Amino acid sequence: MNLKTPFSFLIIIIFIFFSACDSQNHKTENRVVIGISADVQTFNPLFAFSVDEGVITELLYLSLFDFRWNNEKGELDSYPMLAERWEWAPDSSHLKIFLRKDAFWTDGEQITSADVVFSFDVFSDPVVQSRMYGNFRNLYFDNENHINIKKTFTIISPYELQVNFPPSSIPSLDDLSSPVLPQHYLEKINREELATSESNLNPVSNGAYKLTGWDKNQAITLSADTNSFLFKDGMIAQLVFKIIPDYTSRILQLKKGELDMLELVKVEDVDEIKQVEDLRVTALSGREYDYIGWNNIDPVAYGKGKIIPNELFGNSRIRKALTFAVNRKEILEEYLQNYGQLAVTSVSPIFKSAYNNDIKPYDFNVDKAKDILTSEGWKDNNHDGVLEKDGNDFRFTLYYPAGNPLRDFASTVIRNNLKAVGIEMDVQTMELNTFIDNLVDKKMDAWMAAWYIPIPVDLKNYWYSDLEATPRNFVSYQNKEVDKIIERLETKISGEKRNELIKKFQAIIHEDEPVTFLYWTPDICAYNKKIKNINITPLGAIMHCWEWTFNQ
Amino acid sequence: MRKEFGKTFIKRFLSSLLTLYLLVSFLFIIIRLSPGDPTNKYVSSQLSPDLAKKISASFKLNEPVSDQYVAFLVNVIQGDWGTSYNYHQPVLRVVWQYFSFTFVFALLSFIIQLIFSFYLTIFIVNKRNRLLDKIVSDMSLIVYSIPAFVLGVTLIYIFSVNIDLFPISGLRSLDFEGMSFTSKIFDQIHHIILPLITLSAAGIALFYRYLKDNIDVVLNQTYILHLKASGFRNKIIMTKHILPNAVRPLISVAGIELGILLGGALITEVIFGLPGMGRLTIDSILARDYPLVIGCVFTSGAVMIATNFIADLIKIKIDKRLTVELMN
């Protein structure tokens, strides 16, 4: 070693210092940086399968109508967006839509009725395999679920069109909520090749923001489109979605001020974030609930094509006893620090008009649980601490996907709770895809998972008795009364009647307890106080971000 | 000798191809037998069971594995590795996007590992059996034992959070496009320093220990004593006699290390938000993106075989006697 070595180190340190200072000198003002965990693979709403793709494509592509959350009523209200106004036929057989004349694509072309018709055509085309394929039940469609364009749409002028609905349908504006796509840009592409087309990465869009930069796996930059009818002076000039796969890095960058907004913050980080002066934290619950699924039918028999009640969980009184035995409040208080609330049924309290306030959650009551189990013939005759009936122990395995600390904590509490009433529960984690496979094939007796609920309320997909038609009814719950309610909800009824039926549904589900509803988990969002006009609703935090401004 | 080399070179090349073929074939069958259905996310719950089956069938995963395998081989021979389910792009294009970063990142790390460990070893050899020698030897063991995620997070905590000298993650600043050419270079260096330290630390420690042990062995040989007694200068003995003999065993280790680096560094990539092969491979496995899994594993396998092959060529260059032994 000679003098050269320390000299080289000195040069390196000066170089690092200079590069650090140099990077700090290039900061753009008037932008909001939002942290996300993964890059998008498309900017085309047809194929926006991930949550982040959905959020970004919703900003790029507007729909005919603007849906906003009405917190008073707990339901969606519709406002004009690309449709300036609309007129329903008195018998709801058709809807006339009048488009805005000041709405343009980013390449300068005007948005017309033809774009609207093209969008519904391509979204429902089985060849395209879009994310909304199969979702247009209230329109005329063929036996492949492709919308019958001729029967459904009548173009009156470039800015006026009529949508015709089948006589038996119960149409709503929600049926026409898919984003409008540019016909002139996409029609040249063979539909079979749309999914792999380069056009998905170079969008011609119509939103308040347009794509101006995409540094793959690093950041997505959207800039305010001054030609958009939504553009206003003072709106945020740039939205940057910064891709940071590691959660800890996202939190550090939020605290350091490198991020202005972060969703899906974990409860354990809230206190520290609240210490940062520039940050504000909001917690909303009601979109996702955790539950313990009790397979109502026997998985082995189901594999052989037979449906018989599950030996352990086929009886609603036993399922109720299990709910009494689990201290859900402890998990809510200890782990979720009271962010969130106990779940009673699958209908969220956010749907204020349809929520049944008369139903109260089952208490944690060990004695009651034991009484029910005893009355159902489960007794510890051999005094080994485990209940038996007909020579069989009350013993089972609870499965859940690996990598969720809340469920690790909850499973320990549940195991201890059930042990106290004489039930032996093993716990086993599983890789997510394997878990989903087993759920779909109904191979497990008991599991812990979550449901992210749709808006508006959807019951059929989860609770209807036809197990072939409703693959998401994982617990195989079957109740004829519930079926009747679900079928009534698919007929033309008033909003009041609809809410009444949903309340009745909740009462039956509460009585049957097909699963143990645990708690509504919180969606915690942290953002910089400098952003004004943020309206965080069950629809998300970023929706309507063109209304955000900066505090002066 | 040259003819012998050419013959064994072709033999080695063909056996490498066979290894890759077996690797890809084994993987093709294993991932199809493993649980998980990549078509799940494309099937809406609103679809009738018949239409849902039709969508799943369009992925051709319902066909017998043997039929799928034959179709796959025919396509690969024609240069078509399939289309990624998630990226909706040809597999080779997706792999290239990630491999190009991994190639540069791994190569930089490899060069740093070699240079640092080399100079550190030479420096310490001159101070053999002193306190510094012991401290560095113990430290190298500690550094080698520290998991990358611990080192990475510690570096971020010290240099990014507390001192604010380096960015926490990412490859570039958000305003990269608006920077001048020199600023762009500074910016990239600024971003890559902590990831490079995280990725290289264990390799430096490993190479140091290997090289140091080898030098110690050579130094104890009688011919070195003979050279010293004959009056050769220490520098000559080191460069002409000790180093060539000590470096040779290191070349194989370096070849394997480079192959591992080029296969991706998952932990470093995730902590620092870098777009490398490690992340791509794991993401494709978790998403059951079958064509992409095969593309990633093939690439990693190919670079591993290639780097080992290059390492053997370098060894032959140093010692021609090894030609037949190594090429076979």
Q: DSSP secondary structure string, B17-74?
A: HHHHHHHHHHHHHHHHHSS--TTGGGS-TTS-HHHHHHHHHHTT-SS-HHHHHHHHHH
Question: SS3 of A282, please?
Answer: strand
- On the question of pLDDT at B195 being above 90, the answer is yes
Percent of chain B with pLDDT over 90: 47
Does any CB of chain B come closer than 8 Å to the CB of residue A214? no
**For the domain that residue A336 is a member of, what is the CATH number?**
3.10.105.10
Q: Smallest Cα–Cα separation from B86: which of A40, A134, A131?
A: A40
**Tell me, what DSSP letter sits at residue A247?**
H
CATH for A147? 3.90.76.10
Q: Is A457 left (phi over 0), alpha (psi -120 to 50) or beta?
A: beta
pLDDT of residue A143: 87
Among A61-70, A179-188, A500-509, B224-233, the range scoring the smallest mean pLDDT is B224-233
Query: How long, in residues, is chain A?
Result: 552
**Biggest alpha carbon–alpha carbon distance for chain A:** 93
A139 inside domain: yes
As a whole number of angstroms, the distance between CA B41 and CA A211 comes to 26
End-to-end CA distance of chain A: 57
The sign of the dihedral angle between the CA atoms of B162, B163, B167, B173 is positive
**Closest CA–CA distance from residue A16 to any residue of chain B (Å):** 7
Average pLDDT over residues A9-20: 58
Q: What is the pLDDT of residue B326?
A: 60
Distance of alpha carbon B278 from alpha carbon A96, whole angstroms = 53
- The residue-averaged pLDDT of A254-278 equals 95
The answer, for A19 touching chain B at a CB cutoff of 8 Å, is yes
Q: B2-15+81-327: which CATH topology?
A: MetI-like fold (1.10.3720)
Query: Cβ contacts (< 8 Å) between A244 and chain B: which residues?
Result: 169-170, 273
Band of the pLDDT at A3, cuts 50, 70, 90?
very low
| Interface residue A176 vs chain B (CB under 8 A) | no
The CA distance from A289 to the nearest CA of chain B, in Å, is 19
Q: Is residue A239 part of a domain?
A: no
Reported as a single tens digit per residue, the pLDDT across A219-232 is: 999 999 999 999 99
Task: Name the residue among A1, A28, A433 with its Cβ closest to that of B35.
Answer: A433
Nearest-5° angle of CA A367, CA A372, CA A374?
A: 95
| Stretch among A46-60, A232-246, A497-511, B9-23 having the lowest mean pLDDT | B9-23
B47 with A134: Cβ contact below 8 A: yes
Q: Could you identify the residue written with the tokens 């080191």?
A: B238
A268: in domain: no
Long-range contacts from A187-192, C-beta under 8 angstroms, 24+ separation = A187/A118, A191/A122, A191/A125, A191/A127, A191/A128, A192/A127
- Distance (Å) from the C-alpha of residue A179 to the closest C-alpha of chain B? 18
Dihedral of alpha carbons A341, A346, A350, A352, sign: negative
Contacting residues of B for A19, CB less than 8 Å apart: 186-187, 189-190
Q: What pLDDT digit, counting tens, does each position of A487-507 carry?
A: 999 888 888 999 999 999 999
| Cβ-based burial of B271 (10 A; exposed 0-12, middle 13-18, buried ≥19) | buried
Answer yes or no: is A269 within a domain. no
A549 within a domain of the structure (yes/no) = no
> Is the pLDDT assigned to residue A6 strictly greater than 70?
no
Over residues A189-196, mean pLDDT: 91
Query: HSE-up of A316 (CA within 13 Å, CB side)?
Result: 11
- pLDDT tops 90 at residue B248: no
The nearest alpha carbon in chain A to B122 belongs to A1
Res. B323 pLDDT band, cuts 50 70 90: low
Interface probe, candidates A217, A220, A238, chain B, greatest B C-beta count within 10 A: A217
Closest CA to A119 of A100, A107, A132, A137: A132
Does residue A527 sit in helix, strand or coil? strand
- Name the token pair of B24: 């890809």
Q: Is the pLDDT of residue A2 over 70?
A: no
Residue (of B126, B36, B265, B25) closest to A434 by Cα position:
B36
SS3 state at A378: coil
Please answer whether residues B202 and B144 qualify as being in contact, where contact means their C-beta atoms are separated by less than 8 angstroms: yes
Work out the pLDDT band at B325, boundaries 50, 70, 90.
low
CB A246 within 8 A of CB B169: yes
pLDDT the model gives residue A489: 93
Give A 250-269 residues with CB within 8 A of chain B: 252-253, 256, 258
Residue B137: C-alpha distances to residues A454, B114, B203, B211 (Å): 60, 17, 14, 12
Cis ω before B167 (30° cut-off from 0): no
Residue with tokens 């793709």: A53
Which of B46, B105, B281, B290 would you mutate first to test chain A, the one with the most A CBs within 10 A?
B46
> Measuring CA to CA, which residue among A451, A405, A499 is closest to residue A287?
A451
Residue A21: the pLDDT is: 55
φ, ψ of residue A406 to 5 degrees: the values are -60, -45
Average pLDDT along chain B? 88
Measure the CA–CA gap between B313 and B326, rounded to whole angstroms: 9
3-class state of residue B276 by DSSP: coil
A156-170, A380-394, B311-325: least confidently modelled range: B311-325
Q: Helical H runs in chain B?
A: 2-33, 49-58, 65-77, 91-125, 131-145, 148-155, 181-219, 222-229, 234-236, 243-262, 266-272, 277-286, 290-318, 323-327
Contact A15/B189, CB-based, under 8 Å?
yes
Task: Tell me, yes or no, whether A295 lies in a domain.
Answer: yes
Task: Check whether residue A296 and residue A176 sit in a common domain.
Answer: no
pLDDT at B56: 74
Output the six-digit token pair for A180: 């409008």
Cα angle: A351, vertex A357, A360; to 5 degrees: 120
Residue written as token pair 């052989």 = A304
d(CA B323, CA B321): 6
According to the model, what pLDDT value does residue A1 have? 44
What is the three-class DSSP state of A386? coil
A219 lies within 8 A of chain B by CB: yes
* Strand ranges in A82-204 using DSSP code E only, listed in sequence order: 83-88, 94-99, 153-157, 160-164
The answer to whether residue A385 scores a pLDDT higher than 50 is yes
Comparing CB atoms, the residue among A15, A49, A213 nearest residue B177 is A213
Closest to B295 measured CA to CA, from B91, B98, B137: B91
Substitution target in A22, A29, A255, A262 with the highest count of B β-carbons within 10 Å is A22
In a domain, residue A204? The reply is no
Distance CA B328, CA A82 (A): 71
Q: What per-residue confidence (pLDDT) applies to A28?
A: 64
**Residue B293 — φ and ψ, nearest 5°?**
-60, -45
What whole-number distance in Å separates Cα of residue A335 and Cα of residue A327? 12
Give me the pLDDT at residue A222, please.
Answer: 97
Q: How many CA atoms lie within 13 A of A535 on its CB side?
A: 12
Pairing type for strands A31-36 and A65-70 reads: unpaired
Average pLDDT of every residue of chain A? 92
Residue B9's pLDDT is 80
Q: What is the pLDDT of residues A441-477, one digit of tens each?
A: 999 999 999 999 999 899 999 999 998 888 889 999 9
Best B190, B197, B268 residue to mutate vs chain A (most A CBs within 10 Å) = B190
pLDDT at residue A10, rounded to an integer = 56
From A213, A203, A211, select the one nearest A179 (Cα to Cα): A203
ipTM attached to this prediction: 0.84
CA distances from B269 to A121, A411, A516, B189, B265 (A): 41, 32, 40, 16, 6
Check residue A14 and give its pLDDT.
Answer: 59
Window A:423-452, CB contacts with B under 8 Å: 431-434, 436-438, 440
User: Please, which contacts does A83-91 make with residues 24 or more away whose CB atoms are closer than 8 Å?
Assistant: A86/A173
Q: Assess whether A158 and A292 both reside in one domain.
A: no
Cβ separation of B169 and A27 shorter than 8 Å?
A: no
**Strand A424-430 to A446-452 pairing:** unpaired
Q: Average pLDDT, stretch B61-85? A: 88
> Could you give the C-alpha distances from A251 to A32, A257, A494, in angstroms and in order?
16, 10, 47
Question: Pick from A128, A157, A184: which residue ends a domain?
Answer: A184
Q: Residue A321: inside a domain, yes or no?
A: yes
The confidence band for B1, taking pLDDT boundaries of 50, 70 and 90, is low
Owning domain of residue A126: 63-184
The residues in A 461-490 lying below 8 A from B, measured between CB atoms, are 461, 468-472
User: What does pTM read for this prediction?
Assistant: 0.88
> How many domains would you assign to chain A?
2
DSSP A523: E
From residue B320, give the alpha-carbon distance in Å to each of A400, A498, B25. Answer: 59, 87, 36
For A375, the enclosing helix (H) or strand (E) is: helix A366-375
Tell me how far apart the alpha carbons of residues B131 and B141 are, in angstroms, rounded to a whole number.
16
Number of A to B CB contacts under 8 A, please give it: 155
With a cut of 70, say whether residue A18 has pLDDT above it: no
